[in-house]
Structure 1
Amino acid sequence: MDPVATRVVELTGREAVSDALLGTSHEWELHRVGLADGTLLFVKAAADGRGRLDGLFRAEALGLDWLGRSFGSPVPGVAGWDERTLVLPWVDERPPTPEAAERFGHQLAAMHLAGADSFGADWDGFIGPLPMDNTRTRSWPEFYAEYRVIPYLRRAADRGALTPADVRLVEKVLDVLERLAGEPEPPARIHGDLWNGNVIWQDDGAVVVDPAAHGGHREADLAMLSLFGLAHLDRVRDAYNHAAPLAAGWRGRIPLHQLHPLLVHVCLFGAAYRTTVLEAARAALRAGD
């Protein structure tokens, strides 16, 4: 039996009979493992030679468990995990429909409304392969500046993907963040990396995967859904807004919430995302005029 199937047996206590490598993502491999009873599992495993991934799978497992504690949450359960492996149910994707989009909007609202004790989390997380500081904080502007924008702004500048002038522009946003943030909201139970590639459509809604879960601002998840496009996004947002009305001015704050994931993309992929970061910073500042 190959190493991945062996780890699945150890983690689930069930007999594995097949293992198909689906590809790689960052520093881990993606597998489809079949069990003797016909059940399929999705497995993320550290690539050969990588050993442990410094808590990445632990953070994802804890995040999925925490998000899943809200009624009707659109996240899969965790079948097993260790420091080198994460085992999840296999989810077949369906074509997106307006009806599924409306259901997903309600699912997302319910998950957010489950709330959090503070901004941040009890565990430090990851967004993609990058570490993410989840230090608990009472103020969202403080949390967003200190733990979501500044670390990735510095990292992007250190690798030469942003110029000193670029950094100053983003810092201007942080200087007036209290004014740009809108009315204070309680911490929401958010996915934290909700781009369209992490949404798996179902007939009755969607399943969301690969979270960077933490207590955050609920507008962040919605802003990220619009960053790279999502099928029937207006249906999702309308249904969400009906279930959990958004605060006045939320559309104008979309670029503000997109700064964090865009800076992450600069850190991962370089200056190709530089212009988009600067456009988001300027749009955030204009919204506050």
Structure 2
Amino acid sequence: MVFTKQDPNAPAGFYPVEAAGLRWLGEATPSGGTPVADVLEVTDSSIVLPRYPTVSPTPEAAREFGRRLALTHGAGAPHHGCAPPGVADGFIATLPLHHLTQPPPHWGDFYARCRVEPFARAAEASGGLSGSGLNLVLKLCDRLREGDPALIGPEAKPARLHGDLWSGNILWTSAGTVVIDPAAHGGHPETDLAMLTLFGLPHLEIVIDGYQETAPSADGWRDRVSLHQVHPLLVHAVLFGASYGEQAARVARSYV
């Protein structure tokens, strides 16, 4: 059985980018990384994946998912902001997502330049973020560009990120979890962990425990969760409106 996603009006490159991200993440699976949906076929207007029957999440599957996610991250990436091989820029939902062809000075510069500021400006233009909220987020971007470890923590080795790791993109199957719909790129491993916590996940703390047992995060990582959530909140502000923009502004205010 297969599952076909198709949209003749999809942005140019949308499905090939998704396929490239799945394949890149899947390179880590034979070494213990999290299982990824197989790409059976891809065209400019569709992608065909296996249909994965789902089951109820269990604590055991949650811990194994955390362990495997850590190993996927550990497979690494050439630099913060890099795209999967064979693609340039990408997408999160249907929104364009800029990547870098050259390494940034540090993760904070990439995060401000390619994730936070562009989506803050898009949210303000769409009415999802107020002018005062935009000013707060831009002040946060200034701090991010400074690379202050007190804000962003110690510089992390670029991880192989899913990039849109909310609960809807994690399928719980009888053989374990399978991830779908990535916005894959090289980035900070705390980004995927923060996304997991944003909209809720079954057995979340067990997932986190499995991850930390395999690849402990830097001290203070829980204090930085909301920092990594600013970008997805702004994405939602663009797509779904001002309540998400208000959340992003509140987070920004706490850091500036």
Are 2:218 and 1:247 aligned? yes
> In 1, distance between residues paired with 2:127 and 2:6?
31
Of residues 224, 249, 265, the one that matches 2:236 is: 265
Q: C-alpha deviations, 1:165-212, integer Å up to 9, x for none?
A: 111111222222222111001110000000111111123431111000
Structure 2 gaps of 5+ residues are none
> In 1, distance between residues paired with 2:17 and 2:209?
31
Equivalent residues of 1:259, 1:277 under 8 A apart: yes
Which residue of 2 is the match for residue 100 of structure 1? 61
Equivalent residues of 1:100, 1:203 under 8 A apart: no
Equivalent residues of 2:35, 2:179 under 8 A apart: yes
Q: C-alpha deviations, 1:46-86, integer Å up to 9, x for none?
A: 15xx2x53111010000001010012332111101010110
Which residue of 1 is the match for residue 113 of structure 2? 146
Report deviation, 1:273: 1.2
Report deviation, 1:100: 0.5
User: Percent of aligned pairs with the same residue?
Assistant: 48
SS in 2 for 1:162: coil
Are 2:42 and 1:81 aligned? yes
For 2:219, give the aligned amino acid.
A
Are 2:168 and 1:197 aligned? yes
Structure with the bigger RCO (C-alpha within 8 Å, sep 6+) is 2
Which residue of 2 is the match for residue 13 of structure 1? none
Computed over aligned residues only, the root mean square deviation of the Cα atoms, in angstroms, reads 1.3
After superposition, residues 47-126 of structure 1 pair within 5 angstroms as 47=8, 50=9, 53-70=11-28, 71-72=31-32, 73-119=34-80, 120-121=82-83, 122-126=87-91
Structure of higher CA gyration radius:
1
For 1:108, give the aligned amino acid.
L
Structure 1 gaps of 5+ residues are 1-39
Which residue of 2 is the match for residue 164 of structure 1? 131
Flag the structure with higher helix content. Answer: 2
Are 2:216 and 1:224 aligned? no
TM-score (norm 1): 0.81
> In 2, distance between residues paired with 1:143 and 1:74?
28
Moved over 4 A (4+): none
> In 2, distance between residues paired with 1:257 and 1:154?
18
> In 1, distance between residues paired with 2:46 and 2:184?
18
Report deviation, 1:278: 1.9
Of residues 68, 87, 92, the one that matches 1:127 is: 92
> In 2, distance between residues paired with 1:100 and 1:170?
37
Which residue of 1 is the match for residue 140 of structure 2? 173
Q: Give aligned pairs, total.
A: 243
Report deviation, 1:160: 2.3
Flag the structure with higher strand content. Answer: 1
